[in-house]
Amino acid sequence: MTARAPEAPSPDPIVDVRGVSFAYRGMAALSGVSLAARAGEFVGLLGPNGAGKSTLVRLVAGLLAPAAGEVRLAGLDPWTAPRRTVAQVCALVPQEPRLAWPFTVREAVMMGRAPRQGLLAVASRFDRGAVEGALLACDLVHLADRRLDALSGGERRRVFFARALAQEPRVLLLDEATAFLDLGHQVAAMRMAQVAAKGGLCVVAVLHDLNLAAAACDRVVVLSRGQVVAEGPPAAVLTAERVREVWDVEVWRGENAATGAAVVLPAMDRR
């Protein structure tokens, strides 16, 4: 994967989070967090477990309501706006995607078209075209007629990525979308996210792999204990000192000789 030079994003944020706080049963998850992301931009949300990354994504998707502050998604309040309207703007690949019934891969991806279909949900040629394009993009054509319960965890993750692409959103939210994927499909997922952003989508992804984030993202936002502690280009943000401070791990920080992207590796001896 090669790092790409970011194109100029749209000047107005399509994801606009201002001073948001949220708590689970009295335990603070986010405190005064602000985030702006624009069309044409790929933003990575980084931080240790429990930092508030997934909570922030769920607030943007309208699945949670902030206790304080405000969230705007293309000008909408995603918590109060009709779910169909929100789904026409925003697609979420959740951390643990599930479907209750053993649908086929093609049927599951077609579900992404629901916000754009009529009451009878009759698939049009546009729906079928969007689904076939998403299957192709996610390397799922050969699995299209396979049942979801016959797939591996990584293959199911790709199905839900494809469903989000088929939705044709303006904002793509990825909550650990590379989890359970092998290296080749991790890289493919990041390339798809890059292509989506280059095509005009706003992509916001929760990532744990700092090197994937450094290679793929235009900008990264680091959260720690429910607060934003750094944001900017990956090379500027992912210093050895900051990784040690946020993740409490000693690392070697270098650069990829082929791309110039930051490389962060644990400084472990072999004793």
Calculate helix-pair angle for 153-166, 183-198, nearest 10 degrees. 10
Of 211, 250, 210, 243, whose CA–CA distance to 224 is shortest?
Answer: 243
One-letter identity of residue 12: D
* Torsion over CA: 5, 163, 188, 174 (sign): positive
For residue 142, the 8-state DSSP code is G
Comparing C-alpha atoms, which of 219, 168, 178, 255 is closest to residue 38? 219
Q: CA 222 to CA 201: how far, in whole Å?
A: 21
* 0.85 surpassed by pTM: yes
Instruction: Give the other-Cβ count within 10 Å of 184's Cβ.
Output: 9
Distance (Å, whole) CA 96 – CA 259 = 32
Per-residue pLDDT of the chain (271 residues; tens, 9 = 90+): 554 554 555 578 999 999 999 999 889 999 999 999 999 999 999 999 999 999 999 999 999 999 999 999 999 999 999 999 999 999 999 877 776 678 999 999 999 998 887 666 777 888 899 999 999 988 899 999 999 989 888 888 889 989 999 999 999 999 988 888 889 888 888 988 998 999 899 999 999 999 999 999 999 999 999 999 999 999 999 999 999 999 999 999 999 999 999 999 998 776 6
Residue 10's pLDDT is: 56
CA-to-CA separations, 85 to 27, 82, 128, 175, in angstroms, rounded: 31, 5, 21, 21
Give the pLDDT of residue 114: 86
In this structure, what token pair is assigned to residue 30? 């986010």
Cβ neighbours, 10 Å, residue 173: 26
The dotted CATH code for 15-266 is: 3.40.50.300
